[in-house]
């Protein structure tokens, strides 16, 4: 990714004790969806008869119901804690297909419903005084009424009704409140320091790193294995050293990769190990001359087609020889003057080379100026995953790298990330996962860390999800900094893994 520098690896300075989840305050993340109304005792502004029948798990017998008086009444269920919910299911008495009047369903974190979210309301004339509703009345059936909505965080459910088309009484055969599936909170990504596979590491060091990745719920370890245009030993452009820029990579870049892969699999058998290959969008995607910041011109030595062939073949070698689970292409190519079609051609060649069953992903900039919706859709059709780099968003000094003056404070940063997550989620096909990547803690740039951090980033993702975005996970950039920073570790645990502080 951008601004990569090979800094000295000070292994001796790193603690070798494994970090347990209890030490960093990570509670077990709720994963599979669950009915949090099950077994709870409802309350009401009426005298309830057979109160527990409405939450006993039985919805197929219309005669086993809770009665909540006559006229305008409600039942209320306390889940015992706040949850993110996105589906409510209700069965009133349904044997004769009657219709219940003024059905209003609300969620709140307040038992008094001092503030609430209405998710269903068919009281068209506001006769119940809860506001006029726009939902249609419906005939009861054994299927019940399923109400789906964007996630709402709530502890209490309140359901109003005002009798039925048959009589004035209110009946509840069953009520269910389903939580959001939070499996994505254990579906996270991080990128490793390239020096970790360039030089020998002790087993204790690798175990320490992988243990901390497990605490971060890392599913995809992106193992940085070097550049296609730079010599791994020096970090210099190949052609300045008399080498050719031709889509091959210095072997030194992954001298210790096999040991790292073997130990990672030993300490985290379920973790996916992805090889990250880096390059230059002009040199490797377009095969054009490139002038660096020091005004030095670098020129590819082969055609675009040959360059792509060489890169694809090398990706296949890395996957097959080292037993990797996939490839991440980190060329950051989609900027003005870089045809996205060139990059798609490269991606297609890599896909063919590594095969259909290996994970293939790219990294991108979240702003529309770099990845407009139509290009996101085209990239997504070729990929398993796209990782959006949600940091350095106001880096005006290094334009045309991500620059957006509106993100120079915490409020606007969170808003910009949220809106872009929603935009990208809508544009991507369902077959491609979206991973918004947070800044983590890294030393390459500290000008934005007051607001570009795991807390702000995670809040932005949560807000986007609450507004309907499809997000497969999250993550942190440059794990070597984040894993040893207690503040960032706790922020990631609180605001992303647990979903709430």
What per-residue confidence (pLDDT) applies to 403? Answer: 52
Domain of residue 166 covers 43-179
Helix (H) or strand (E) holding 348, with range, is: helix 340-354
Q: Which of 179, 197, 219 is the last residue of a domain?
A: 179
**Is 134 in the same domain as 189?**
no
What per-residue confidence (pLDDT) applies to 3? Answer: 35
**Is 70 in the same domain as 206?**
no
What per-residue confidence (pLDDT) applies to 449? Answer: 76
Q: Give, in order, the Cα–Cα distances in Å from 274 to each of 284, 318, 438.
A: 20, 10, 18
The span from the CA of 466 to the CA of 486, in Å, is 28
1 located within any domain: no
**Is 147 in the same domain as 167?**
yes
**Is 457 in the same domain as 476?**
yes
**Is 231 in the same domain as 303?**
yes
Q: Choose among 212, 464, 227: nearest CA to 330.
A: 227
**Is 275 in the same domain as 372?**
yes
Q: Specify the 3-state DSSP secondary structure of 346.
A: helix
Please report, to the nearest 10 degrees, the dihedral formed by the alpha carbons of residues 187, 191, 195, 200 taken in order.
0
pLDDT averaged over 10-residue windows placed end to end, the chain, 501 residues? 36 32 42 89 98 97 97 98 93 98 98 97 95 97 96 95 98 96 92 93 97 97 93 90 93 92 98 96 93 94 97 97 97 70 96 98 88 92 96 61 66 92 96 93 65 93 93 93 92 89 49
- Structural domain count of the chain: 2
**Is 130 in the same domain as 248?**
no
The span from the CA of 31 to the CA of 411, in Å, is 29
What per-residue confidence (pLDDT) applies to 183? Answer: 86
pTM, full prediction: 0.81
Query: What is the token pair recorded at 337?
Result: 């003057």
111 located within any domain: yes
Query: What pairs with residue 272 in β-bridges?
Result: 220
Query: What is the token pair recorded at 120?
Result: 């269903």
**Is 211 in the same domain as 102?**
no
**Is 168 in the same domain as 284?**
no
Query: What is the token pair recorded at 86?
Result: 């996105």
The residue with tokens 């997000």 is 471
Query: What is the token pair recorded at 447?
Result: 């000008």
**Is 132 in the same domain as 241?**
no
The span from the CA of 201 to the CA of 323, in Å, is 19
392 located within any domain: yes
Q: Give, in order, the Cα–Cα distances in Å from 166 to each of 93, 121, 169, 173, 384.
A: 11, 20, 9, 16, 54
Q: Which of 159, 179, 199 is the last residue of a domain?
A: 179
**Is 318 in the same domain as 359?**
yes
């Amino acid at each position: 990714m951008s601004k990569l520098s090979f800094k000295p690896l000070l292994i001796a300075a790193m603690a070798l004790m494994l970090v347990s989840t209890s030490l960093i305050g990570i509670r077990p993340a709720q994963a599979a969806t669950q009915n949090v109304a099950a077994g709870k005792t409802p309350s009401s502004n009426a005298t309830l008869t057979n109160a527990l029948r409405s939450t006993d798990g039985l919805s197929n017998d219309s005669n086993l119901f809770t009665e909540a008086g006559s006229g305008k009444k409600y039942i209320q269920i306390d889940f015992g804690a706040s949850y993110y919910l996105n589906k409510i299911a209700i069965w009133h008495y349904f044997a004769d297909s009657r219709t219940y009047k003024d059905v209003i369903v609300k969620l709140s974190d307040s038992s008094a419903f001092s503030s609430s979210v209405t998710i269903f309301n068919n009281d068209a004339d506001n006769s119940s005084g809860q506001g006029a509703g726009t939902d249609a009345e419906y005939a009861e059936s054994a299927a019940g009424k399923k109400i789906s909505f964007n996630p709402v965080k709530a502890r209490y459910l309140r359901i109003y009704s005002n009798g039925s088309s048959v009589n004035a009484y209110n009946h509840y055969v069953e009520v269910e409140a389903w939580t959001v599936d939070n499996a994505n909170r254990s579906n996270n990504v991080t990128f490793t320091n390239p020096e970790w596979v360039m030089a020998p590491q002790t087993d204790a060091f690798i175990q320490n790193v992988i243990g901390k990745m497990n605490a971060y719920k890392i599913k995809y370890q992106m193992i940085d294995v070097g550049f296609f245009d730079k010599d791994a030993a020096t970090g210099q452009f190949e052609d300045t050293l008399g080498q050719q820029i031709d889509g091959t990579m210095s072997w030194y870049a992954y001298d210790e990769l096999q040991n790292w892969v073997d130990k990672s699999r030993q300490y985290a058998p379920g973790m996916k190990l992805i090889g990250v290959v880096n390059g230059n969008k002009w040199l490797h995607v377009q095969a054009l001359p490139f002038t660096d910041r020091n005004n030095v011109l670098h020129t590819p030595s082969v055609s675009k087609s040959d360059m792509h062939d060489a890169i694809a073949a090398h990706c296949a070698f890395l996957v097959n020889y080292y037993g990797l689970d996939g490839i991440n292409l980190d060329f950051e190519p989609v900027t003005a003057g870089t045809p996205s079609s060139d990059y798609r051609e490269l991606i297609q060649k890599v896909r063919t080379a590594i095969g259909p069953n290996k994970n293939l992903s790219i990294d991108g900039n979240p702003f529309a100026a770099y990845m407009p919706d139509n290009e996101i859709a085209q990239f997504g059709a070729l990929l398993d995953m796209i990782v959006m780099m949600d940091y350095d968003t106001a880096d005006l000094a290094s334009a045309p790298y991500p620059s957006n003056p509106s993100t120079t404070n915490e409020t606007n940063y969170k808003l910009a990330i949220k809106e872009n997550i929603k935009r990208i989620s809508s544009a991507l096909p369902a077959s491609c996962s979206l991973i918004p990547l947070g800044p983590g803690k890294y030393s390459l740039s500290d000008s934005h860390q007051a607001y570009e951090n795991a807390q702000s980033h995670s809040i932005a993702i949560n807000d986007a999800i609450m507004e309907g975005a499809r997000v497969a996970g999250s993550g942190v950039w440059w794990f070597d900094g984040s894993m040893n920073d207690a503040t960032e570790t706790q922020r990631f645990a609180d605001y992303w893994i647990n979903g709430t502080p």
